[in-house]
């Protein structure tokens, strides 16, 4: 049995149940993935390709090969990667600042997608790039990537249920007086021609929780967790609160202290989609933020 095989032995209580119902309830296979698996004859019962309207008997061995044949349109590139963790289902990367996650208009190469595709191509694997969380080009830190549609959807379900934990560190301009707080303001994208988001009652719900970890002369270091995952959420919320992230030229102003927004996704926790084991990851601050905090440490208040 290969690494991409899911299996289930039919329990007596599931006797005479439809195969499709077992695939959805026990193996958590979505409708869209089920359609692809059927088209590629990836579903078997007792070693034989089987239609999903087949009625199972106790003891039947259901196997599903989740290694689909898919067309990859991302150009592979040989770009160094800081791999924090990898298993059969997921890849965790520590993304440096200045590296875009995915090709977009005006950025056709030299992205994390190109780098990961190149990494897999050199291993002789054709895997689509499926990030579960995304970071802005100039935000550093942990990015979670599903290695199959099954893994991506399983982890994304965890994220929607609030069971994927992410923590960020941000250095903001100004002294925040309270030690903790919550910003709950809807975020909208008023003009698709521009990337900037704004606070607007017509926008989507957005919740950012923060905890002060240190104060400096004119700056505050925050630990942040997200109740939602809107584009630019942390940057928009902190700017609206009057404490823009240091170096954020889109929602604040340039800084002589750092050449990008001082925002780092440093901690990540989730359950392994196949085994349910709890996985936790942490990565230190990149050199530019570490230098900045060292410089400010003598002015801590």
Residues tagged active-site: 136
As a whole number of angstroms, the distance between CA 28 and CA 38 comes to 15
Query: N- to C-terminal Cα distance for the chain?
Result: 60
Contact between residue 271 and residue 187 where contact means Cβ atoms under 8 Å apart? no
As a whole number of angstroms, the distance between CA 102 and CA 93 comes to 14
Cα of 181 vs its chain's centroid, Å: 24
Helices in the chain by DSSP H: which ranges? 19-25, 31-39, 112-121, 149-160, 233-240, 287-296
As a whole number of angstroms, the distance between CA 139 and CA 168 comes to 10
Element (H, E) at 298: none
As a whole number of angstroms, the distance between CA 102 and CA 104 comes to 6
Nearest to 186 by CA among 204, 168, 165, 166: 204
């Amino acid at each position: 049995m290969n690494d991409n095989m899911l299996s289930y032995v039919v329990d007596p209580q599931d006797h005479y149940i439809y195969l499709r119902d077992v695939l959805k309830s026990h193996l958590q296979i979505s409708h869209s993935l089920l359609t692809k698996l059927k088209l590629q004859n990836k579903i078997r019962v007792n070693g034989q390709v089987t239609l999903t309207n087949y009625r199972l008997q106790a003891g039947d061995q259901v196997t599903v090969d989740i290694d689909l044949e898919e067309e990859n349109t991302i150009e592979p590139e040989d770009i160094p990667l800081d791999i924090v963790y990898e298993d059969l289902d997921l890849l965790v990367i520590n993304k440096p600042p200045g590296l875009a996650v995915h090709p977009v208009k005006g950025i056709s190469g030299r992205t994390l997608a190109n780098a990961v595709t190149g990494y897999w191509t050199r291993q002789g694997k054709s895997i689509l790039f499926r990030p579960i969380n995304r970071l802005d080009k100039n935000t550093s830190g942990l990015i979670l990537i599903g290695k199959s549609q099954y893994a991506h959807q399983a982890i994304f379900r965890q994220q929607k249920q609030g069971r994927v934990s992410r923590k960020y560190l941000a250095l903001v301009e100004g002294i925040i007086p309270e030690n903790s707080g919550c910003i709950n303001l809807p975020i909208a994208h008023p003009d698709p021609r521009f990337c900037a988001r704004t606070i607007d009652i017509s926008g989507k719900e957005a919740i950012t929780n923060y905890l002060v970890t240190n104060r400096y002369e004119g700056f505050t270091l925050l630990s942040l967790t997200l109740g939602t995952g809107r584009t630019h959420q942390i940057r928009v919320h902190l700017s609206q609160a009057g404490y823009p992230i240091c170096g954020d030229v889109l929602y604040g102003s340039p800084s002589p202290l750092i050449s990008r927004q001082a925002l780092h996704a440093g901690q990540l926790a989730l359950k392994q989609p196949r085994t349910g084991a709890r996985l936790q990851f942490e990565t230190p601050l990149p050199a530019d933020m570490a230098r900045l905090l060292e410089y400010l440490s003598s002015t801590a208040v």
